Amino acid sequence: MTKKALKKAKNKLKEQPKETVLLVVVGTTPAVLTETVWALCAQDDIPGDLRVIPISTGSTADRIQDELHTPLEDHGGKTIWQSLREEIQTKFKIKPKRLCLEDVEVIKIKNEETGRTDKLEDIRSKKDN
Protein backbone atom coordinates (compact mmCIF):
# COMPACT_ATOMS: atom_id res chain seq x y z
CA MET A 1 0.00 0.00 0.00
CA THR A 2 1.38 3.39 -0.95
CA LYS A 3 1.78 6.23 1.56
CA LYS A 4 -0.96 8.16 -0.21
CA ALA A 5 -3.38 5.21 -0.05
CA LEU A 6 -2.53 4.61 3.62
CA LYS A 7 -3.18 8.25 4.48
CA LYS A 8 -6.49 8.14 2.61
CA ALA A 9 -7.53 4.98 4.50
CA LYS A 10 -6.61 6.57 7.87
CA ASN A 11 -8.63 9.69 7.05
CA LYS A 12 -11.60 7.55 6.05
CA LEU A 13 -11.42 5.72 9.40
CA LYS A 14 -11.36 9.02 11.28
CA GLU A 15 -14.53 10.12 9.50
CA GLN A 16 -16.51 7.04 10.55
CA PRO A 17 -18.63 7.41 13.68
CA LYS A 18 -17.12 5.80 16.74
CA GLU A 19 -18.82 2.81 18.26
CA THR A 20 -18.44 0.96 21.53
CA VAL A 21 -19.24 -2.74 21.36
CA LEU A 22 -20.28 -4.41 24.60
CA LEU A 23 -20.07 -8.21 24.56
CA VAL A 24 -22.14 -9.41 27.51
CA VAL A 25 -22.05 -13.04 28.57
CA VAL A 26 -25.44 -13.50 30.19
CA GLY A 27 -26.28 -16.26 32.64
CA THR A 28 -29.75 -16.99 33.93
CA THR A 29 -30.84 -13.38 34.48
CA PRO A 30 -30.91 -10.79 31.71
CA ALA A 31 -30.84 -8.04 34.37
CA VAL A 32 -27.04 -8.12 34.26
CA LEU A 33 -27.26 -6.83 30.70
CA THR A 34 -29.57 -3.91 31.45
CA GLU A 35 -27.67 -2.99 34.63
CA THR A 36 -24.36 -2.96 32.74
CA VAL A 37 -25.77 -0.76 29.97
CA TRP A 38 -27.17 1.64 32.60
CA ALA A 39 -23.80 1.79 34.41
CA LEU A 40 -21.91 2.49 31.19
CA CYS A 41 -24.28 5.28 30.22
CA ALA A 42 -23.97 6.77 33.71
CA GLN A 43 -20.20 7.11 33.20
CA ASP A 44 -20.89 9.54 30.36
CA ASP A 45 -17.76 8.64 28.42
CA ILE A 46 -19.03 6.21 25.81
CA PRO A 47 -17.36 7.10 22.53
CA GLY A 48 -20.04 7.06 19.86
CA ASP A 49 -22.83 4.54 19.71
CA LEU A 50 -23.21 1.60 22.09
CA ARG A 51 -23.86 -1.73 20.40
CA VAL A 52 -24.76 -4.50 22.84
CA ILE A 53 -24.17 -8.11 21.82
CA PRO A 54 -25.44 -10.66 24.35
CA ILE A 55 -23.86 -14.11 24.38
CA SER A 56 -25.56 -17.00 26.13
CA THR A 57 -26.69 -20.61 26.05
CA GLY A 58 -29.72 -21.70 24.04
CA SER A 59 -32.12 -21.87 26.98
CA THR A 60 -31.14 -18.42 28.27
CA ALA A 61 -31.16 -16.86 24.79
CA ASP A 62 -34.90 -17.48 24.54
CA ARG A 63 -35.39 -16.03 28.02
CA ILE A 64 -33.44 -12.87 27.12
CA GLN A 65 -35.48 -12.39 23.97
CA ASP A 66 -38.73 -12.88 25.92
CA GLU A 67 -37.82 -10.65 28.86
CA LEU A 68 -36.31 -7.78 26.90
CA HIS A 69 -38.45 -7.78 23.76
CA THR A 70 -41.99 -8.59 24.93
CA PRO A 71 -44.27 -5.55 25.27
CA LEU A 72 -45.56 -5.21 28.84
CA GLU A 73 -48.68 -3.47 30.12
CA ASP A 74 -46.85 -2.01 33.13
CA HIS A 75 -44.36 -0.41 30.69
CA GLY A 76 -47.13 1.21 28.67
CA GLY A 77 -47.05 -1.50 26.02
CA LYS A 78 -43.30 -1.06 25.52
CA THR A 79 -40.59 -3.64 25.96
CA ILE A 80 -38.06 -3.48 28.79
CA TRP A 81 -35.36 -2.54 26.27
CA GLN A 82 -37.47 0.33 24.89
CA SER A 83 -38.20 1.58 28.41
CA LEU A 84 -34.51 1.38 29.34
CA ARG A 85 -33.53 3.40 26.26
CA GLU A 86 -36.08 6.10 27.13
CA GLU A 87 -34.94 6.27 30.78
CA ILE A 88 -31.31 6.57 29.69
CA GLN A 89 -32.23 9.37 27.29
CA THR A 90 -34.05 11.27 30.05
CA LYS A 91 -31.49 10.73 32.81
CA PHE A 92 -28.21 10.91 30.86
CA LYS A 93 -29.25 12.85 27.72
CA ILE A 94 -28.11 10.02 25.46
CA LYS A 95 -30.12 9.67 22.27
CA PRO A 96 -31.92 6.31 22.11
CA LYS A 97 -30.70 5.71 18.55
CA ARG A 98 -27.20 5.44 20.01
CA LEU A 99 -28.19 2.28 21.93
CA CYS A 100 -28.62 -0.89 19.90
CA LEU A 101 -29.28 -4.37 21.27
CA GLU A 102 -28.44 -7.13 18.83
CA ASP A 103 -29.95 -10.59 18.80
CA VAL A 104 -28.44 -13.05 21.24
CA GLU A 105 -25.44 -14.99 19.99
CA VAL A 106 -25.87 -18.57 21.18
CA ILE A 107 -22.88 -20.57 22.37
CA LYS A 108 -22.42 -23.65 20.25
CA ILE A 109 -20.77 -26.98 20.89
CA LYS A 110 -19.15 -29.35 18.41
CA ASN A 111 -21.19 -32.43 17.57
CA GLU A 112 -18.71 -35.13 16.59
CA GLU A 113 -21.44 -37.41 15.22
CA THR A 114 -22.78 -34.91 12.69
CA GLY A 115 -19.63 -32.89 12.11
CA ARG A 116 -21.58 -29.72 12.81
CA THR A 117 -22.28 -27.55 15.80
CA ASP A 118 -25.35 -27.58 18.02
CA LYS A 119 -26.71 -24.98 20.39
CA LEU A 120 -25.41 -25.48 23.89
CA GLU A 121 -28.69 -25.47 25.81
CA ASP A 122 -27.14 -25.10 29.26
CA ILE A 123 -23.81 -25.39 31.05
CA ARG A 124 -24.34 -28.03 33.71
CA SER A 125 -21.22 -30.18 33.65
CA LYS A 126 -17.47 -29.96 33.24
CA LYS A 127 -17.89 -31.33 29.72
CA ASP A 128 -20.34 -28.51 28.84
CA ASN A 129 -17.94 -25.95 30.24
Asked whether residue 47 is assigned to any structural domain, the reply reads yes
Asked whether residue 24 is assigned to any structural domain, the reply reads no
Q: Which residues pair with 51 in a beta bridge?
A: 21, 100
Compute CA distances 124 → 89, 110, 117, 120, whole Å.
39, 16, 18, 10
Per residue in 98-127, pLDDT (tens digit) is 889 999 999 898 889 999 988 888 777 777
Range of the domain at 46: 31-119
Per residue in 79-103, pLDDT (tens digit) is 999 999 999 989 988 776 788 999 9
pTM equals 0.76
AA letter at 54: P
pLDDT higher than 90, residue 76: yes
Asked whether residue 61 is assigned to any structural domain, the reply reads yes
Q: How many domains does the chain have?
A: 1
Cα–Cα distance, 50 to 44 (Å, whole number): 12
Name the packing angle between helices 58-69 and 31-43 (round to 10°). 60
Asked whether residue 41 is assigned to any structural domain, the reply reads yes
Asked whether residue 12 is assigned to any structural domain, the reply reads no
29 neighbors 60 (Cβ within 8 angstroms): no
Question: How much is the pLDDT for 95?
Answer: 73
Asked whether residue 63 is assigned to any structural domain, the reply reads yes
CA 53, chain centre distance (Å):
2
Which SS3 state, helix, strand or coil, does residue 127 take?
Answer: coil
DSSP codes joined into one string, 30-89:
THHHHHHHHHHHHHT---SEEEEEEEE-HHHHHHHHHHHHS-BGGGTTB-HHHHHHHHHH
61 neighbors 104 (Cβ within 8 angstroms): yes
